[in-house]
Structure 1
Amino acid sequence: MNESTKGVMAIIAACVAWGLSPLFYKLLEHVPPLELLSHRTLWSLTLFGLFLGAQGRLGEVAQLLRGRSVFLVAMAAIMISTNWGGFILSVQIGMVVESSLGYFIFPLVMVILGRLFFNETITRGKGIALILATLAVLTLTFGLGVAPWLSLLLGGTFGIYGVVKKVLSTGPIVSVTAEVLLLAPLAVVWLMGTHIAGWEGILGRNGAVFGQHLWDSVLLVTSGLITAVPLVLFSYASRRLALSTVGLIQYLNPSLQFTCAVAFLGEAITPWHLIAFPMIWLALAIYSADAIRRDRASRRAVIA
């Protein structure tokens, strides 16, 4: 098996894990979102720390948290924790369809941010895709009477997170470890509050779930595994595949989220969704075709 095939298998496995994760978090819907987010942060830190420790790379984390780069890591930590928290909330309030839309529009959000922060060119294909995506969001806003705020939150925070990661000159595993390390004190404080002071979550649910029931405790620990393993696989694949290939396969994630929401979680699809989502899918098809065409052109130019 060659390296390219291994990379494809790794990115598919990562996207399947991310795409099916709503079913996992549904099992923990009775856990307050901030408590679940805190456990996800601490257990993923544990696993990332073990992974880097086994490779003798923990010094890279310490180095990243020195100097000005710590501010970039802090910004990335805020964005990814908001994104994780928003996704957990979407499962608990029955809005996984909306969250999947956020991850569908993420590549198009990156087009805008790339133009704003890196002066990247918006090609004709990308421009058409952006117009279609904007029309889709406006369609949902008009039809549902409210903007798809959760979709915009997830797509926006993940987009800003991508900008920060582009600036950071380090690998994804090291940077994520640094990010959750900065978040860990907040997670510890929140968990201490739930277990000692009896704090309740933002949905008014009783906290302190960990340690009360074996199954819930095991699932909370597993949330770190659900976070860490797909990212390791994604990192492995990114080093072996063209970015256009990675980008195309990544659409498997929101596609599976959407399928889980409709087929397994019983979320309703309105006529407005049936109008907006095909527009998004068409936008992504145009965006992907443009990206593939330009990737092949750049390869031919390098060979020539």
Structure 2
Amino acid sequence: MSQSASHENNVRTGLVYGLLAFGMWGVGPVYFKAVASVTPLEVLAHRIIWSVVLLLLFISWRRQWSRLWALMSDPRRLGGLLITALLVAANWLTFINAVSQGEIVAASLGYFIIPLFSVLLGVVFFSERLRLWQMVAILLALCGVANEVVTVGRLPIIALTLAVTFGLYGLVRKKLAVDPLLGLTVETLLLAPLALGYLAWLGYQGSLHFAHDSPLLDLLLALGGVVTTLPLVCFAAAANRLPLTTIGVLHYLAPSITFLLAVSVYNEPFGSHRLITFAFIWLALAVFSGDGWLYQRKRVPVLQGG
């Protein structure tokens, strides 16, 4: 097989993995609706515990115990992963709670905002300079948030919490520069004692759902590990094969699917004020993506010539 054919095959494989990853993240609300009878905190605890089980099996399969131990023996990285563990737990809990409360549209808004918030974090923490159209995109997004405040009378707390926690999570992870799966393994291991303690407390109080409701619900709660880990495995495989610009475009697939599920399947209200908010955000993302695409096209010839 020629080098170009091998590259094309690699890209196609990466695209399949990317579509699987973001597609699974997009349909996530279906799973969390199925376990909505369980309190969000218990769902979160099961998600952590069963993710630990699955991730440790995956570490064994990849024979990465030495790398995992080295990571956990590094005080700086372990401290950083404790911060990211708390951030991802807050993000997961917010999303689970949003689905259970019928606020999936608000959750999708949060994930649409993430790329724009990440740019702001780059300016603040990495001294990155905003290009003109990036500034326009951020101003459009701020107009969308302002519309929500004016028309509803309050900040879009769910959307902003999801954007801020995930954005900060990505920022700290970037500084730590750890393998995605190894990092998630350490994060869930750090959260596991809290999760186990909470489940034990629920059992002592007699309010634990697991093993007390139905075998089907038990199975669904145990599948929380698959729901958490499998998309990340696919994402890691895609990220190793695709350019960042393609990954950036695929990112919008997940909140788009989530949004369509909320409106067409779960019949969440989507009034004119929310339409205006989303119109600003979508326009901001179109400007942001278009600017990134043009900027990349200008840079490629220079890189090739160098």
Q: Establish whether TM, by shorter chain, passes 0.5.
A: yes
1:208-254 Cα deviation digits (max 9, x unpaired): 11112100000001111011000000010011111110010110100
Match of 2:229 in 1: 228
Percent sequence identity is 36
1:202 alignment counterpart: none
1:136 aligns with 2:144: yes
Q: Which one of 121, 126, 143 corresponds to residue 129 of structure 2?
A: 121
One-letter identity of the residue aligned with 1:177: T
Q: Displacement of 1:70 after TM fit?
A: 1.1
Which sections of structure 1, spanning at least 5 residues, go unmatched? 199-206
Name the residue aligned to 1:4: 11
Distance 2:297 2:242 in 1: 13
2:55 corresponds, among 48, 56, 62, to: 48
Corresponding residue for 1:201?
none
Q: Distance in 2 between matches of 1:84 and 1:176?
A: 13
Q: How far is 1:299 from its partner?
A: 2.2
The one-letter amino acid paired with 2:60 is G
* Equivalent residue, structure 2, for 1:160: 168
Extract structure 1 runs of 4+ deviating beyond 3 A.
none
Q: CA deviation at 1:47?
A: 0.9
Question: Can you give the 5+ residue segments of structure 2 that lack an aligned partner in the other structure?
Answer: 1-7
Q: 1:298 offset after TM fit, Å?
A: 2.6
Deviations 1:3-40 (A, max 9, x none): 10011111111111111110111011110111000000
Q: Does 1:35 align with 2:35?
A: no
Pick the aligned partner of 2:157 from 124, 131, 149. Answer: 149
Q: Which residue of 1 aligns with 2:301?
A: 300
- TM-score, normalised relative to structure 1: 0.95
3-state SS of the aligned residue for 2:46? helix
Q: CA deviation at 1:300?
A: 1.6
Alpha-carbon separation, structure 1, partners of 2:129 and 2:294? 15
- The 5 Å alignment of 1:87-236 reads 87-198=95-206, 207-212=207-212, 213-236=214-237
CA distance in 2, matches of 1:21, 1:137: 25
Counterpart check, 1:61 vs 2:62? no
Code of the aligned partner of 2:70: Q
Matched, 1:258 2:259: yes
Residue identity opposite 2:248 in structure 1: G
Compute the displacement of 1:62 (Å).
2.1
Q: Deviations over 1:147-169 (max 9, x none)?
A: 10000000000000000110112
| Secondary structure of the corresponding residue to residue 2 of structure 1 | helix
Q: Residues of 1 paired with 2:23 and 2:295: CA distance?
A: 27
Name the residue aligned to 2:4: none
Task: Give the Cα separation in 1 of the matches to 2:66 and 2:108.
Answer: 36
Separation in 1, partners of 2:131, 2:83: 29
Aligned AA (1:299): V
The amino acid of 2:25's aligned partner reads W
1:290 to partner: Cα distance: 1.3
1:25 aligns with 2:26: no
Amino acid aligned to 1:154: L
Q: Distance in 2 between matches of 1:80 and 1:295?
A: 31
Report how far residue 59 of structure 1 moved.
2.2
State the superposition RMSD in angstroms.
1.0
Residue-pair matches, total: 296
What CA distance in whole angstroms lies between the structure 1 residues aligned with 2:302 and 2:179? Answer: 28
Tell me how far apart the structure 1 counterparts of residues 295 and 46 of structure 2 sit (CA, whole Å).
42
Amino acid at match of 1:44: S
1:241-291 CA distances to partner (integer Å, 9 max, x unpaired)?
A: 111100101101000111111111121012111111011111101111111
State the 1:58 CA deviation.
2.3
Shift of 1:197: 2.6
The answer for the alignment partner of 1:281 in structure 2 is: 282
